[in-house]
Structure 1
Amino acid sequence: MSVEKVETLVIGAGQAGLAVSEHLGQRGLPHLVVERRRIAERWRSERWDSLVANGPAWHDRFPTRQFDCDPDAFATRDDIVRYMEDFAKQNASPIRCGVEVTALTRKDDGSGFRAETSDGVIEARNVVAATGPFQKPLLPALVPESAGIMQIHSANYRNPAQLPDGAVLVIGAGSSGAQIADELHRAGRRVYLSVGPHDRPPRAYRGKDFVWWLGALGKWDAKTVTPGTEHVTIAVSGAYGGHTVDFRRLGQRGITLVGRTETYADGKQHFADDLARNVETGTRNYLSVLDEADAYIAKNGLDFPEEPDARRTEQDPESVTHPIRSLDLKQAGITSIIWATGYALDFGWIKFDAFDEKGRPEHERGVSKVPGLYFLGLPWLSRRASPFIWGVWHDADYLAGHIAQRG
């Protein structure tokens, strides 16, 4: 069997793979990008129909290409797929779709790597694992199949019509859980939303979008996650023109809020006694961003409009003041559960030691401990912005420079 040889093999043609391909190309470095299905596949097949970006189009993009839409709008899923396809064409990225890497090993002579793929063997001196942060949906085995309830991860949710008639339990208070619960409620469904610890930034404040504020306040450049907040999600939404996620408001509108999901037994789902605390902690986070923004405006003498209504707090809904600790799913009419519980990394196809004791890639700014192996697009690869379109661009530039220095 013939073996194809390339200098640098990039695995994945999502935003990370496209970004590093652009930077490798700018440096004249030969490379090949392989993608298991299509460009931006996760945006195509693992996102719900009405999904939009959580940042405006002027921000959620690569610096060398704008979206073909209103810069202040929130790009749709289809807009993002077209953007990625057009970006790849603009840069003439050498992409081969429909090629899945099933195993990556080190060559015996130490000169690089051997990739077993669905299209044959590829040998490369350098490999960039650009498979992103959304690799393996986490769907806890909590409610048994015998309960007779449809259970799907948010990666497999598409629209309300996909679900059987009846009430829905959405588990997860990040952006996905909050937006899906809101969509289902607007579609006339009875919705229960399990709310765990979360951050809740303002959609916009004093004339600037929250993405602008996170940049101005240096939060995108944070190098490490704040201790104790490793499992805290961020709730923000670009849906319906963009709005601040407020769980009290969702509760006032009719969504039943419950605490963090715990155990299941005898047809009953049990929740932690932490709902009020989680909601209030999210509000404190929201107000802290406003405080920092006000201080920034004062320090820099900026003439930004006042926004006193931004500090108005909704009253606690009934579900917060009298929280449900146990819910009989059948009696509540719940016929489906959506697990908006995030993702785990899945590098099982890398067949050599490049990981720490918890199975996470060992790297410094994406440069692996294994010479010639790189990781790109992961959360906190170099800073908070790393897994986002505008953040991965800078990490890709750094890694392309490192590859160039290897000679």
Structure 2
Amino acid sequence: MDLPKTIDTVVIGGGQAGIAASEHLGNLGIPYIVLEKARIAEAWRTRRWDSLVANGPCWHDRFPNMEFTHSPEAFVHHDQVADYFEAYAKQIQAPIFSNVEVMHLTKKTNDLGYILKTTHGTVEAKRVIIATGPFQKAIIPAIAPQKTALYQIHSDQYKNPQQLPEGNVLVIGAGSSGVQIADELNRAGKKVFLSVGKHERPPRRYRGRDNVWWLGVLGGWDAEKPDSGPLKGFAVSGAHNGHTVDFKKLGQQGITLVGMTQAFDADCVSFQPDLAENIHQAEENYLKLLDKADAFIANNGLNLPEDPDARIILDDPECITHPILKLNFNDENITSIIWASGFGYDYDWIDLDIFDENKRPKHKQGITAQAGIYFLGLPYLTGRGSSFIWGVWHDAKRIAEHIQIKHQYLNYQPND
């Protein structure tokens, strides 16, 4: 299949967002192609650590028109998630051009439409859906030490405990990645220090229902981003058949918890004195969520089993009652730092006025002020679910329908 020179719509990215867009564009009969710089769902294959499974059960973390072959409550290994998307693309006969990278996107001069310069030639399109995903550029903060003897990687590069040199590890970040990596390293016999900032730690399951179900019925998936600041860590895990993340339990299991990382100085790292506050605030929000869940059950007359164990709050381990505010790398034999510090956007290849002063996309539910340019798959595009598998499918449907409406206007012919 040769790359067309002109097409109505180009989707950039062949991951979950691009495949979702592909299904809806195809269903509406809109001519389109998908350009993927590597393989379908490449990030699920090569940008995940070896043992990672999906953070949600597969009855939920899927597209509506294809189920996984696993048990509905299973947390699927990341390679099998990639296989799922490959199979899905084949099922919908998506015109995906793999190993075609878009190097430059700009507006056509004195004309409607856009020019995409790719590694396999130039394509002109009337519309472009930018579906390159939420995890584009791994961010390591500027405070990172310059000490060359330390082995430093982002969680995006982490694969397994054997990858790290001998010695102890500092993991920075209390979201899903940081928590799971710290737990894996601890289970492998490493001494781990885990830097914990503000975070959420929902129950994995409560009263017989998974967290994804509670997010659905309580409106959590529809929630908008609360402010313009960085996303708060969301500590949830599908590892070991899924379990509730409890930082106090991690402390009891041998992980040394410390507060949010503040600064590096020579051979030392300092932490903010906020560990107890971060842990206790997350616990308070956790219990409030259980209260909301109980009220929902009562108000809807549901017969769900009681779950008193979920309300057990463990005692503070010593690392919380007597927090460490400074560590010396040499004294503690810390030889590695893993930065679970999130991701940023990488849109340097786009030459369009669709970004704010911080180079973040400007859009309203994925629709930009630049006619025919859309974003898809970003965190909180329309709500909390937008960067998740099921959520991006529904966002893609809205964007495809928006394109269809534009077609209907253009095709309108008045009756004489």
TM-based fold match above 0.5: yes
- Which residue type is aligned with residue 373 of structure 1? I
* 1:245 equivalent in structure 2: 245
1:22-79 CA-to-partner distances (Å, cap 9, x unmatched) read 0000011110101011111111111101001111000000001111211110011111
Structure 1 residue 119 corresponds to structure 2 residue 120: yes
Cα distance in 2 between the residues matched to 1:145 and 1:67: 45
AA at the equivalent of 1:221: D
How far residue 146 of structure 1 moved from its aligned partner, in angstroms, is: 2.8
Within a 5 Å distance, the mapping from 1:89-238 to structure 2 comes to 89-222=90-223, 224-227=224-227, 230-238=230-238
**Equivalent residue, structure 2, for 1:301:** 301
Which runs of 4 or more aligned residues in structure 1 lie more than 4 Å from their structure 2 counterparts after TM superposition?
A: 227-230
Residue 269 of structure 2 aligns to a residue whose secondary structure is: strand
Structure 1 residue 6: Cα displacement: 1.2
2:413 counterpart residue number = none
Q: Distance in 2 between matches of 1:187 and 1:95?
A: 40
Q: Aligned partners of 1:394, 1:287: CA distance in 2, in Å?
A: 30
C-alpha distance in 2 between matches for 1:327 and 1:403: 55
Q: CA offsets, 1:126-157, max 9 Å, x none? A: 00000011001011233334341010000000
- Secondary structure of the residue that 2:178 maps to in structure 1? helix
Q: Distance in 1 between matches of 2:155 and 2:23?
A: 31
Are 1:388 and 2:388 matched, yes or no? yes
Look up the equivalent residue of 1:328 and give its one-letter code: N
| Partner AA of 2:399 in structure 1 | L
CA gap 1:362/1:110 in 2 versus in 1, 3 angstroms: farther
TM-score calculated relative to the size of structure 1 = 0.97
Secondary structure (helix, strand or coil) at the match of 1:193 reads strand
| Counterpart check, 1:14 vs 2:21 | no
Q: What does 1:33-52 correspond to in 2, within 5 Å?
A: 33-52=34-53
Between the aligned residues of both structures, percent identity stands at 55
2:78 maps to 77
Amino acid at match of 1:365: Q
SS class of match (1:310):
helix
Distance 1:360 1:118 in 2: 25
Tell me the equivalent position of 2:315.
315
Aligned residue in 2 for 1:362? 362
1:296-323 per-residue CA deviation (whole Å, 9 max, x = no partner) reads 0111111111111111111111111111
Letter in 2 for 1:325: L
Distance between the aligned counterparts of 1:322 and 1:71, measured in 2? 43
Q: Report deviation, 1:229.
A: 7.2
Q: Give the structure 2 partner of residue 347 of structure 1.
A: 347
Aligned length: 405
Q: 2: CA distance between counterparts of 1:279 and 1:147?
A: 32
Structure 1 unaligned runs (5+)?
Answer: none
Amino acid at match of 1:374: Y
Instruction: Tell me which residue corresponds to 2:411.
Output: none
Over residues 198-238 of structure 1, what are the superposed CA-to-partner deviations in whole Å (9 max), with x where a residue is unaligned? Answer: 0110000000001001101011112x222487531110000
Q: Distance in 2 between matches of 1:219 and 1:303?
A: 22
The CA deviation string for residues 163-202 of structure 1, in whole angstroms up to 9 with x for no partner, is 1111010000000000000000000100000000001100
Relative to the length of structure 2, the TM-score reads 0.95
Identify unmatched segments of 5+ residues in structure 2: 408-416
- The alpha carbon displacement at 1:86 in A equals 0.2
Deviates more, 1:224-233 or 1:315-324: 224-233
Rounded Cα–Cα distance in structure 2 between residues aligned with 1:76 and 1:30? 34
Could you tell me whether the CA contact under 8 Å between 1:3 and 1:120 is conserved in 2? no
Structure 2: which amino acid aligns with 1:85? E
